[in-house]
């Protein structure tokens, strides 16, 4: 029998992290701002399952994308179903749109979501195997004004986290009409440099030439600098669409840069693509090279997945990455209001009465802290002092019998006994 390793305690799975109580202020803020910004721009919340059929992501995202080839967490159930932990949010939203007949609602349909996604890749700062995104989708709208509104919504959300000096990189990758000519031009450019390409890019030249522009290999990135852009090969419709989009962005006074090599890493994109960066430098001199958010138009995806031809556009931000940037940039995020009152109980009867007394304060909207499991008066007073509360309520055996409670001013030490039924009103008066 093999010798068992000495147990040293469980650790979280590689690339999957705990969000501890001390971090929740940032997550609460981001979720709150996501909801408020979404409501301001009339997005409705949608939630899709974490698990979907594997074929959904293969078909929607593209068989030759890194997500499908390298990054999906997939498995077969005992019943033989092939399932995958969602690596991105858009395919599930589109599946729900088709499955539930959401095209019958007022169009375009504007929805938003936030939650965990999963990709098997080497964990690094801002890029984990389990990570969270907040996303916005507008399904059923072809007008470039919707492209601008998606970007505006995400831009305002990032601003709400006090992230400044934002810049939007934009490009268009055309449509089925104009893209073939550009693909041919791109292949011709890369063929003469094939010997310097990584193995993945040699294969991409055959299966998905646009992905050549998305390679992160340093040698390929250098070659990409001189690669031809698509703007000269756009058809009239795509040219008009992109021009209209840029006019809306300029009307909004949003800072943008044209990036002819920007394509994004998913096959379903068409026409507009974008990424949002910050040019801010942290107090420690750290620059942020990774995109905080990105997205684009996906006019063919609904039809590809079995629905009717339906134009759409969307974008998402990486929540961990955004929080990391906000923290590094010393964004001033207000903490949750602390309790101003602490309840101290002494004795079994007082402990029983404590729960109903706490309920009275909760109903009145007064935050109240406690250490119900501690019996010592001195220990509870120390806890109250540590929390920095203004008032302590002391409920002992005598007070419990007489249906009264002692109110103690933690700064002066002055105490007064009041009836329990008047405690809330008296505390509110003192906290004004």
Q: Is the pLDDT of residue 3 over 60?
A: yes
**Statement to judge: residues 258 and 401 lie in one domain:** no
With contact defined as beta carbons under 8 Å apart, do 160 and 262 qualify? no
Based on the structure, what is the number of domains in the chain? 2
For every residue of 379-398, which 3-state class applies, written as one string? Answer: HHHHHHHHHCCCEEEEECHH
Tokens of 387: 């929390």
Question: Which residues, including other chains, have CB under 8 Å from residue 209's CB and lie 6 or more apart?
Answer: 183, 186, 187, 190
Give the domain-ending residue among 270, 304, 328.
Answer: 328
Per-residue pLDDT averaged across 73-89, rounded?
A: 92
**Statement to judge: residues 163 and 235 lie in one domain:** yes
Q: Is the pLDDT of residue 85 over 90?
A: yes
For the residues of 127-172, what is the DSSP string, one character each? Answer: B-SEEEEEEEEEES--SHHHHHHHHHHHHHHHHHTT--SEEEEEEE
pLDDT at 338: 74
pLDDT at 4: 64
Closest CA to 248 of 174, 137, 150: 150
**Distance (Å, whole) CA 59 – CA 270:** 16
**Statement to judge: residues 149 and 242 lie in one domain:** yes
Report the Cα 218 to chain-centroid distance in Å. 28
User: Which CA distances in Å does 78 have to 49, 84, 357?
Assistant: 19, 14, 51
**Statement to judge: residues 306 and 383 lie in one domain:** no
**Statement to judge: residues 149 and 266 lie in one domain:** yes
**Statement to judge: residues 267 and 391 lie in one domain:** no
Closest CA to 369 of 351, 391, 347: 391
Q: Is the pLDDT of residue 284 over 80?
A: no
**Statement to judge: residues 269 and 403 lie in one domain:** no
pLDDT at 2: 57
**Statement to judge: residues 320 and 360 lie in one domain:** no
**Distance (Å, whole) CA 110 – CA 195:** 46
- Does some domain include residue 60? yes
Give the domain-ending residue among 276, 299, 328.
Answer: 328
Query: Model pTM?
Result: 0.83
Tokens of 357: 């007394």
Dihedral, CA of residue 358, residue 343, residue 32 and residue 285, to nearest 10: -170
For the residues of 200-228, what is the DSSP string, one character each? Answer: HHHHHHHH-GGGGGG---HHHHHHHTTPP
Task: Residue 348: give its domain's CATH number.
Answer: 3.40.50.800
Q: Which pLDDT band, with edges at 50, 70 and 90, does 126 fall under?
A: low
The dihedral sign for the CA sequence 131, 40, 95, 140: negative
**Statement to judge: residues 50 and 131 lie in one domain:** yes
Give the domain-ending residue among 328, 349, 366.
Answer: 328
**Statement to judge: residues 312 and 354 lie in one domain:** no
User: Which CA distances in Å does 91 have to 31, 316, 386?
Assistant: 22, 13, 49
Per-residue pLDDT of 324-357, as tens digits, reads 888 887 777 766 667 789 998 888 888 888 888 9
- Does some domain include residue 203? no
pLDDT at 258: 94
**DSSP 3-state assignment of 126?**
coil
Average pLDDT, the chain: 88
Closest CA to 353 of 394, 315, 395: 395
Q: Is the pLDDT of residue 1 over 80?
A: no
pLDDT at 266: 73
pLDDT at 150: 96
Tokens of 401: 């019998």
Closest CA to 300 of 107, 87, 142: 142
pLDDT at 229: 83
Q: Is the pLDDT of residue 304 over 70?
A: yes
Bridge partners of 171, per DSSP, are 273
What percent of the chain stands above pLDDT 70? Answer: 96
Q: Which pLDDT band, with edges at 50, 70 and 90, does 205 fall under?
A: confident
- Does some domain include residue 199? no
- Does some domain include residue 69? yes
Q: What is the rounded end-to-end Cα distance, in angstroms, of the chain?
A: 71
Q: 219-225, long-range: CB within 8 Å, 24+ apart, which pairs?
A: 223/190, 223/193, 223/196, 223/197, 224/261, 225/261
- Does some domain include residue 215? no
Q: Is the pLDDT of residue 22 over 60?
A: yes
Q: Which pLDDT band, with edges at 50, 70 and 90, does 204 fall under?
A: confident
**Residue 123 dihedral angles phi and psi, to the nearest 5°:** -60, 140
With contact defined as beta carbons under 8 Å apart, do 136 and 154 qualify? yes
The dihedral sign for the CA sequence 74, 77, 82, 88: negative
User: Domain span at residue 373?
Assistant: 341-427
With contact defined as beta carbons under 8 Å apart, do 345 and 372 qualify? yes
Dihedral, CA of residue 97, residue 71, residue 161 and residue 339, to nearest 10: 90
**Statement to judge: residues 313 and 346 lie in one domain:** no
Per-residue pLDDT of 387-432, as tens digits, reads 888 998 999 989 988 999 999 998 898 999 999 999 999 999 888 7
pLDDT at 64: 66
**DSSP 3-state assignment of 336?**
coil
Task: Residue 245: give its domain's CATH number.
Answer: 3.30.930.10
Q: Is the pLDDT of residue 65 over 80?
A: no
**Statement to judge: residues 264 and 399 lie in one domain:** no
Least confident of 80-84, 88-92, 214-218, 308-312: 214-218
Per-residue pLDDT averaged across 287-313, rounded?
A: 91
User: Which CA distances in Å does 170 have to 59, 189, 260?
Assistant: 26, 22, 8
Per-residue pLDDT of 353-386, as tens digits, reads 888 898 898 889 888 988 887 778 888 888 888 8
CA atoms within 13 A on the CB side of 189: 20
Per-residue pLDDT averaged across 209-230, rounded?
A: 82
Closest CA to 366 of 347, 389, 344: 389
- Does some domain include residue 41? yes
pLDDT at 82: 94
């Amino acid at each position: 029998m093999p010798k068992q390793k000495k147990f040293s305690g469980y650790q979280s799975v590689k690339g999957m992290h705990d969000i501890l109580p001390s971090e929740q202020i940032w997550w609460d803020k981001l979720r709150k701002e996501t909801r408020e910004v979404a409501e301001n721009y009339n997005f409705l919340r949608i939630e899709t399952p974490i698990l979907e059929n594997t074929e959904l992501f293969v078909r929607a995202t593209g068989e030759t994308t890194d997500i499908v080839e390298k990054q999906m967490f997939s498995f077969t159930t005992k019943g033989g179903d092939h399932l995958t932990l969602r690596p991105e949010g858009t395919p599930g939203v589109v599946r729900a749109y088709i499955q539930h007949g959401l095209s019958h609602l007022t169009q375009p349909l504007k929805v938003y979501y936030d939650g965990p996604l999963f990709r098997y890749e080497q964990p690094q700062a801002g890029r984990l195997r389990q990570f969270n995104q907040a996303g916005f989708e507008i399904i059923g709208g072809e007008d470039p004004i919707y492209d601008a509104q998606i970007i505006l919504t995400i831009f305002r959300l990032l601003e709400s986290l006090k992230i400044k000096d934002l810049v939007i990189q934009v490009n268009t990758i055309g449509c089925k009409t104009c893209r073939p000519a550009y693909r041919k031009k791109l292949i011709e450019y890369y063929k003469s440099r094939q010997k310097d390409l990584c193995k993945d890019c040699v294969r991409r030249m055959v299966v998905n030439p646009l992905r050549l522009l998305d390679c992160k290999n340093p040698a390929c990135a250098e070659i990409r600098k001189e690669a031809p852009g698509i703007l000269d090969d756009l058809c009239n419709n795509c040219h008009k669409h992109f021009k209209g989009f840029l006019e809306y962005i300029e009307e909004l006074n949003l800072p943008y840069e044209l990036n002819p090599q920007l394509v994004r890493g998913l096959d379903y994109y068409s026409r507009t693509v974008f990424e949002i960066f910050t040019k801010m430098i942290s107090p420690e001199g750290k620059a942020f090279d990774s995109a905080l958010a990105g997205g684009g138009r996906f006019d063919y995806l609904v039809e590809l997945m079995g629905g009717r031809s339906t134009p759409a556009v969307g974008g998402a931000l990486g929540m961990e990455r955004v929080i990391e940037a906000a923290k590094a940039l010393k964004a001033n995020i207000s903490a949750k209001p602390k309790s101003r009152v602490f309840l101290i109980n002494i004795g079994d009867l007082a402990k029983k009465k404590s729960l109903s007394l706490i309920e009275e304060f909760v109903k009145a909207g007064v935050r109240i802290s406690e250490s119900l499991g501690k019996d010592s008066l001195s220990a509870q007073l120390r806890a109250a002092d540590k929390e920095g509360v203004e008032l302590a309520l002391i409920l002992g055996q005598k007070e419990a019998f007489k249906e009264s409670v002692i109110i103690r001013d933690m700064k002066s030490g002055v105490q007064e006994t009041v009836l329990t039924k008047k405690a809330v009103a008296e505390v509110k008066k003192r906290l004004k």
